[in-house]
């Protein structure tokens, strides 16, 4: 007689259901917040490696708030909305806030994150065109950051859009370099102005000879293609010192300041900010 299992097929566990419901609730909260424009920018300084008391520019990181005003961590929703229109609208809001900040604060440069999927989105283009028409000078102080993984989704679109927008004076940064698989031929064709080295190579680099070698190689690549380098997730003085010795141009991380929704347009370590 054939063996017949008496085990019943189990459905999702209570924990699985709780996680699923939480994720769905967060997505709904994010979509509602974007619809009602309940977002803001948090600013983090990017400092010169050789003059670590001086901010070269700031990164404006979009923050979404729930109905109580608390910030929802981006890691809980950013991947889920990447392919939705909500992701495109969030990029529009980030750019809108960034352009307004640049207009209100003429002395700063500001980097704003952007999905490659949004660069051809008509509403995003209208936000950019409207902002530049109000104050054309902001183009020279605007940096658009695209992650390595995002850029490789639609490389031809990114290459063409970058060429068009760089003619206006806008700079581009390739974010999280090393986390994905950028083909070197595209790295040459992209012509990014700034290359941001992924934090996995930076944390603890002062005592990690392997990451020192890898970071030095990335710096050499960036120099060959005439790009400035930024080390992300710098969290200690020894790491900052090592990165300066290796030749990184700029440093960013909690060692110099956490992202804050209060504009940090003030001296760092008692030194005057230079823009």
Please list the residues that pair with 228 across neighbouring strands.
194
Please list the residues that pair with 271 across neighbouring strands.
268
Question: For residue range 178-232, what is the model confidence (pLDDT) as tens digits?
Answer: 877 666 778 888 999 999 999 999 999 999 999 999 999 999 999 999 999 999 9
Is 99 within the bounds of a domain?
Answer: yes
Q: How far apart are CA 231 and CA 108, in angstroms?
A: 20
User: 3-state DSSP call for residue 251?
Assistant: strand
Is 50 within the bounds of a domain?
Answer: yes
Retrieve residue 262's tokens.
Answer: 């209060």
Please list the residues that pair with 55 across neighbouring strands.
47
Is 138 within the bounds of a domain?
Answer: yes
125 class by beta-carbon count within 10 Å (0-12 exposed, 13-18 middle, 19+ buried): middle
Is 92 within the bounds of a domain?
Answer: yes
The C-alpha angle 87, 89, 254, rounded to 5 degrees, equals 65
Question: For residue range 15-45, what is the model confidence (pLDDT) as tens digits?
Answer: 655 545 555 788 999 999 999 999 999 999 9
The answer on pLDDT for 94 being more than 50 is: yes
Is 142 within the bounds of a domain?
Answer: yes
Q: How far apart are CA 85 and CA 91, in angstroms?
A: 10
Is 30 within the bounds of a domain?
Answer: no
> Are 274 and 50 within 8 A, CB to CB?
no
Domain encompassing residue 219: 36-252
Band (pLDDT 50/70/90 cuts) for residue 237 is very high
Q: Residue 131 maps to which CATH number?
A: 3.20.20.450
Interstrand relation of 250-252 and 39-48 (parallel, antiparallel or unpaired): antiparallel
Is 275 within the bounds of a domain?
Answer: no
Is 271 within the bounds of a domain?
Answer: no
Q: How far apart are CA 89 and CA 222, in angstroms?
A: 32
Model pTM? 0.87
Please list the residues that pair with 48 across neighbouring strands.
250
- Strands, E, within 148-191: which ranges? 171-177
The total number of structural domains in the chain stands at: 1
Question: For residue range 253-273, what is the model confidence (pLDDT) as tens digits?
Answer: 999 999 999 998 854 444 434
Q: How far apart are CA 160 and CA 172, in angstroms?
A: 13
């Amino acid at each position: 007689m054939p063996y017949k299992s008496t085990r019943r097929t189990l459905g999702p566990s209570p924990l699985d259901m709780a996680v699923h419901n939480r994720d769905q609730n967060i997505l709904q909260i994010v979509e509602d917040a974007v619809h009602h424009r309940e977002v803001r920018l948090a600013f983090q300084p990017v400092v010169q490696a050789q003059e670590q008391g001086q901010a070269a520019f700031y990164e404006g990181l979009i923050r979404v708030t729930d109905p109580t005003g608390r910030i929802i961590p981006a890691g809980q929703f950013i991947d889920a909305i990447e392919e939705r229109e909500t992701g495109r609208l969030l990029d529009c809001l980030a750019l809108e806030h960034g352009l307004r900040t640049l207009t209100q604060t003429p002395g700063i440069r500001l980097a704003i994150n952007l999905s490659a999927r949004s660069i051809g989105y008509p509403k995003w283009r209208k936000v950019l065109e409207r902002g530049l028409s109000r104050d054309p000078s902001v183009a020279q102080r605007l940096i658009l950051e695209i992650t390595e993984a995002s850029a490789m989704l639609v490389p031809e679109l990114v290459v063409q859009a970058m060429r068009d927008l760089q003619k206006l004076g806008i700079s581009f940064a390739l974010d999280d370099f090393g986390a994905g698989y950028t083909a070197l031929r595209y790295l040459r064709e992209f012509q990014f102005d700034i290359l941001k080295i992924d934090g996995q190579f930076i944390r603890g680099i002062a005592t990690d000879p392997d990451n020192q070698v890898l970071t030095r190689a990335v710096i050499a690549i960036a120099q060959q293609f005439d790009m400035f380098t930024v080390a992300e997730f710098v969290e200690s003085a020894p790491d900052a010192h090592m990165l300066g010795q290796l030749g990184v141009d700029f440093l960013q991380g909690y060692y110099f300041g956490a992202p804050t929704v209060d504009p940090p347009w003030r001296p760092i370590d008692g030194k005057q900010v230079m823009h």
